[in-house]
Structure 1
Amino acid sequence: MTLLRVLLCLLLLRPILFIAFGVNVRHAHRIPKVGPAIVVANHNSHLDTLVLMSLFPVDQLHAVRPVAAADYFTRNRVLRWLTEKLLHGIFISREQSQRSETYIKLSEALSAGNILILYPEGSRGEPERLSKFKMGITYLIERNPEVLVYPVFMHGLGKILPKNDWLPVPFLIDVFVGEPVRWSGDHQSFIRVLDRCIQDLAAEGHFSSWE
């Protein structure tokens, strides 16, 4: 299945995203070269994960694993297969009662040297609107304090393929990669730092429509 992921990236993802839509990446050198690592980003579109995966070299794709909500991405066989086999996703439960099992599963993936893609907003928000990050990421990083967290801000995807839409509309995609953040030892201060990083990256783009 690794070969299929490579072909997906080379023959489909990059040509479509970088040529058909146009992806402008700022600070691409900050993308983690090896795992374990966590990439956190704002979430507006089904295309978000594909854009983030396209930023990594082909020889790293085997280690890049998006984290996906089980209740949504296992609702039918096709979606489950695409997420699990093609994207190498990790299914997690959004139920509070399953929180401990979720952190164990993600910690095991980090221990194996994987690079996780997480959306701390929790779910796709309204197009081009940034929601506050939820606290779950802080408990995961508390368990793995040596792992660096890389904030990424994306703009334009909410207009290309927003929530509840399935027909892409051509629009320029801007991606800003932030400096890695270390666990601060405090949940509230850590989430504030991540929020601030995303806001600062958004400010670099001077997007008048961003709220």
Structure 2
Amino acid sequence: MEHSTGSQSSQVTAVNGNSITWHTTYTWQGGPFNVKSYANLDLRVGLGKSLSQISSIPASWSWTYTSASSDLVADVSYDMWLSNVASSSGASSTSTFEVMVWLSARGGAGPAGSQIGTASVNGVTWKLFKGTVSTWTVFSFVAPSEMTNFNQDLKPFFTFLTNSEGVPSSQFLVQAQAGTEPFVGSATLTTNSYSLSIN
């Protein structure tokens, strides 16, 4: 692996009810094909339900790059984890599926695996990627263009995977995160408002 160097800091600046404002600033060099970090907000309530038990996952995220270098390679994404074990967490030995929703892919950033087609979800045609990381399958929905004001239900993404890609509705949603994965470059990503819940 090519040597990588850099630094990053993140801060929550306001909490208003269920809405959170935060930012992260980073500079990374080297290893342009390797994700350096995933500064994120990690939901702590409503998890451990099977997909069939979930009626909706309302998500709202308003964000912007307040600064970004010309060589920036990064994504802005939701990262959600499924398991056969309701009490487990993501990226573990019991993980079965990782489901990402990419709202931004700058500088040629791309998900794990390769594109297997497109998916029409919530009236948007997303590029659909499939790959394998460690012991689990990764599905990534990549937006056709940068979406800086996202206000959608995330449940239809799982419904699509159940109907079209064989993901069982008996799978448990055990972790739901949202943040940014930088590969290389410098940026400040500011979230003006963010909320996520599971019903």
TM-score by length of 2: 0.33
TM-score by length of 1: 0.32
Greater percentage in helix: 1
Bigger relative contact order, structure 1 or 2 (CA pairs below 8 A, ≥6 apart): 2
